[in-house]
Structure formats: structure tokens, C-alpha cells
Amino acid sequence: MLLPTRHKALPDLCSVQPSSRTAGRVVLAALATVSLTLLQPARPALAVHMPKVAELPASALEPFTQSDKQVWDAVVMLPGGRALLEAPIWVGNTGPQLSVRSADGSFAPYPDAAWNAEDGDASKRIVSIAGMTLLADGTLWVLDSGVPNHKAAAVAPAKLIQIDTRQNTVVRVVPIEASALHKDSVLSGVAVHENTAYVADSGVAGVLVIDLPSASAHRFLDRHPAISATRPIVTPDGPVTTANGNLLAIDSSMIAVSPDGKWIVVQPPGGYLSRVETTIFTDPDVTPAAMEESVTQWYKTPSLGGMTIGPDGTLYWSDISTGSILSYTVGRIPRRLITDPRLKWPATPGLDTTGHLYVPAAQLNHTAAFQNGKSLVEWPVTVYKLTLPTTPPPT
């Protein structure tokens, strides 16, 4: 899920309180770098430079579906040409928060109208959709943050909803333990491997590791500087600000897990991509210092609107700073697949099994949540279909 967080300004860099001497050194070093960066003209600092020229022509990008009522910020492709579309309530949407578009172009609430009801038993409906991920066996996991207004407190407990997309039915609901959350937590993206879910917290930086059979949740990397909001979110119009003019701060909101489950990647929209070996979360002998140092900066990404991971481990990124779709292979080869002015705040993309990527041009910076209650969205909102290159990455 893209950017679900309480609107807040970038923190006073002098007010961060390290939890240990090791963490303090990490924080101070990171903040010193950030301070210098923010005082200089914005320019990418990439370990392996992203190509400046896109590989694909504009003809590779074509409209897939449109809406004149809803802002979609994520898409998941199902077999048979069906598409699941996420319309989060926190940006001002009404109507179903999760819809299915059939191959004939018709829409319906998913998995049904009851789960998309606006009121009623919070344990049996989507209160505030905050991300979704599809597994190879057809299982869809939907994250419900329980926070429909990101300027206010949660109205319902956070939960994970397991849906069988072949039967189009809810299999079970996994409540997320409150002990793993902070008062200002706003859960965002979700990634699942086998019986473990990894959930990002965009309100207070952290990663929740949830054992799905037992529903036990543990919090890791709490307020870690690598996944905290220390950089501005930049669009072609400049940095994104709050209603009072401060730079918008959003902590870790994007997360993915490798196909073999050995590592996760996580980042805030304006930050850099970090990678963590998942064994660190289950090692009983890990020290606090080792946990702090387990985070590896994996790529100096631009500001992102969403990401997804392919079955071969390739990451696909929506670059909101240039309106581009980027990819990053397991071998750490960056590719600029396409840049197009139609991609206005491209959000979380989805892959099908025939070599296409689908990405919503969400215009999130034009929604009411970013415009002090007044939507400036240019309708219709469009999901585009990108034909991926069949050639290997350049060497």
C-alpha cells in the first residue's frame, strides 16, 4: 500500500533519542548525512547509476482501465484477466475499497459487498485497506490498518484478511496484536512468505513479523533511521508538503519479501531501499547492536510510489519523481523501463503471468488528503498496462 500515514513534518533532527550507544552512532551518522543532503540541491546519489534514458517507447504503455470516481493506488492481477483494485478510504475515496474488474470490464466489490460495507462489525469488513499481496497458490492477503483518517486515531484493530481468490471467499481473519503497535502506528504494505507476514509501519518506522498460524506479532527495527522519514518526497512539481508548508514525512510504507523468503526489502517513500536477512528475526541470540546493524542499504532509489517483486526476485519500482517504471534485478542491475508524463504519481504495480506490468497513475498528491481537504484529481484515474522487455538487462 502506498503512503498510508499520518501527515507529519520531517522531524527535528536534534530531537531523535537513540535507544543505545550503537544505535546512537548510527542515527547521528545518518542524520548528519541527511542534514548535508537537504542543504544541497537535490540530486540522485546512486551506487550503480540508474540509466537516464528509458528502454521502452511510449507505445509500450497503454490504458488498461479507468475510473471517474475512485483513486486506485494498487493493482493485483488474477488469472483469467481479472484485476483487483485498491481504493483506500484515507485519500477521500467512497464505495468499495477493494474491487474486482472482470475480463469483460465490469466491476464488483471484492470479495463481496458485505466486506466493503461502510459500517457494521469491524471484524467482518474492511475498515481501511492498507495493502495486499497475492501468493502463487491464489491466496490473497489484505492488510486493514483500522485507520481511515490518518489525522486521527484508529477506529478498529488492525488485521490481516486471507482470501481464496479461486473461491472468492474469506478464509480467515488474523488480528494484529496491539502490543506490536505504537499509538501513532499506521500499518502499510504487507508481504507474505509461507506462514510469515511482514508488515511495514508508516506512522512509526518499524517492521512487524507475524506468525500467521498463531497470530503472534513481534516488532523489529523500531524507529530505525534507515526506514524512517529523513528525506523529502519529491515529485516533478517539487517536494511534497503538508497543509502548513512543512515537508511531508512518511516512514516505512513499502515492503516485499524474496521468493525464497530469505530477505525482505523495505523503505519509506522518500528514503532509500534497505534489505534485511529474515533469519535475523528468528535468531534467539541476536543482540540489539546486531539487529541495528542488520539493515543493508540496497539501492539509493528516487522517491517511490510503490513497488512489487517478481517470481525471479526482480523488483519493480514506481518512480514518482520522474513518472517512470524502474526495475532492479537480483544481480543488482538497475533498468529504466519507461518514462511517461501520463504516469502522474505511479503507485503500487502488479504483474501478470504473460509479461505485463499494471500500474495506477494515482495522482495521490492531488487527492484531498494532500490538498487540505480539496481534491484536485484530474479524472479519469487510469491504470496502465506496460509490456515488459523480453531482452536481458544491459551489461
The 3-class secondary structure across 178-229, one letter per residue, is HHHCCCCCCEEEEEEECCEEEEEECCCCEEEEEECCCCEEEEECCCCHHHCC
What pLDDT score was predicted for residue 15?
37
CB 7, CB 150: distance < 8 Å? yes
3-state helix, strand, coil in the chain (%, to 5): 15, 35, 50
Q: What is the pLDDT of residue 68?
A: 97
Give every CB contact of residue 57 below 8 A, 6+ residues apart in sequence.
none
| Cβ proximity of 258 and 299 under 8 Å | no
Domain boundaries, the chain: 68-175
Task: Give residue 254's pLDDT.
Answer: 98
Q: Cα-flanking dihedrals φ and ψ of residue 292, to 5°?
A: -60, -40
Residue 190 confidence (pLDDT) = 98
User: Which of 123, 184, 176, 181 lies closest to 152 in space, CA to CA?
Assistant: 184
Q: pLDDT of the chain along its 395 residues, tens only? A: 444 445 566 654 333 333 443 344 433 333 333 333 333 433 434 458 999 999 999 999 999 999 999 999 999 999 999 999 999 999 999 999 999 999 999 999 999 999 999 999 999 999 999 999 999 999 999 999 999 999 899 999 999 999 999 999 999 999 999 999 999 999 999 999 999 999 999 999 999 999 999 999 999 999 999 999 999 999 999 999 987 889 999 999 999 999 999 999 999 999 999 999 999 999 999 999 999 999 999 999 999 999 999 999 999 999 999 999 999 999 999 999 999 999 999 999 999 999 999 999 999 999 999 998 899 999 999 999 999 999 887 66
pLDDT score recorded for residue 9: 63
Report DSSP state, residue 40: S
Per-residue pLDDT at 243: 79
**Per this entry, what is the length of the chain?**
395
Among 144, 165, 172, smallest CA distance to 100 is for 165
Q: How many contiguous H segments (helices) and E segments (strands) does the chain have?
A: 2, 28
Instruction: Report the pLDDT value the prediction gives residue 236, as an integer from 0 to 100.
Output: 95
User: Is the separation of the CB atoms in 314 and 329 below 8 Å?
Assistant: yes
**Residue 98: all three cell numbers together:** 477493494
